[in-house]
Amino acid sequence: MSSQRGESAVSDGEYGNFVTISQLILHTNIRMNANLVFKYFPNLSEIQQNRFIQLADLYVDWNQKINVVSRKDIDELYLRHVLHSLGIAKFQQFKPDASVLDVGTGGGFPGVPLAILFPDVHFTLVDSIGKKIKVVDEVVAGLGIENITTINDRVETIQGKFDFIVSRAVAAMPTFVHWIKGKIKKESVHERRNGVLYLKGGDLGEELKGYRTAEIFDLTDCFEEDFFATKKLVYLPMKYKG
């Protein structure tokens, strides 16, 4: 059997779909890269492991239809997106029944990987761009994830309060804090006070100078890959200015 471009097509034995040889190689390589997650999170259940493996196939397929991840990043999905998202879990373990809001989730990061890791926590993923939420919905359905709610809207319009708000550098901190005003619960059930967990890179001194209670964690303390050399996690407790 041949593809439309004349490239030979083979059956992907795991799913029974016909794909080109180059697609099969790409899918196989990406699946192998799931071991990067297992390296740092060795105690995952079989369901969690399978979801992390299947996640790559879904993103590769949907990214060809609706581009939400660059080609370079899709080739390194587990490093640049999945493991980066899971950096939050190295600093904060969410308790069962906690609620987490992911602002500007894009293709589902950090919310989707965190929802796989914390199946008893409810995640609300918000993005104002409909096509991105479409991809997230398809990935969530394909993986059978039941602890995610998606909303296609601006975060300012979202009702409700959450234990933590997570995001990956969607705006400068003052802008972000303005967007999420009034959306964090006052009563904390975790050791850390409720607040923001924000994945960001570079020199944050100027951006955070107005937030004296902010704590900055280097992701190199958790991950040895060069990609994390400049990557940080900012924790901002509920009362932002000390």
**What distance separates the 2 farthest-apart alpha carbons in the chain?**
66
Cα–Cα dist 238/182, whole Å: 10
Which of 56, 52, 54 has its CA nearest to residue 44? 52
> pLDDT tens digits, the chain, 242 residues: what are they?
434 445 555 445 444 455 577 666 666 666 678 999 999 999 999 999 999 999 998 998 888 888 888 777 888 999 999 999 999 999 999 999 999 999 999 999 999 999 999 999 999 999 999 999 999 999 999 999 999 999 999 999 999 999 999 999 888 899 999 999 999 999 999 999 999 999 998 888 888 988 999 999 999 999 999 999 999 999 999 875 44
What would the pLDDT profile of 1-27 be if each residue is shown by its tens digit? 434 445 555 445 444 455 577 666 666
Instruction: Output helix, strand, coil percentages for the chain, rounded to the nearest 5.
Output: 40, 20, 40
Domains of the chain, CATH where assigned = 1-32 (no CATH), 78-237 (3.40.50.150)
Cα distances (Å, whole numbers) of residue 16 to 2, 11, 25, 49, 77: 16, 6, 15, 21, 23
CA dihedral 69, 71, 77, 80 (to 10 degrees): -80
| Distance from the first to the final alpha carbon of the chain | 66
Helix (H, G, I), strand (E, B), or coil: what is residue 95? coil
Residue 176: C-alpha distances to residues 25, 58, 102, 115, 184 (Å): 40, 30, 12, 22, 13
Residues 6+ apart with CB under 8 A from 225: 36, 79, 83
Torsion of CA 211, 192, 119, 67, to 10 degrees: 10
- C-alpha 232/C-alpha 216 separation (Å) is 7
Site of tokens 């308790």 = 95
User: Which pair of structure tokens corresponds to residue 115?
Assistant: 């929802």
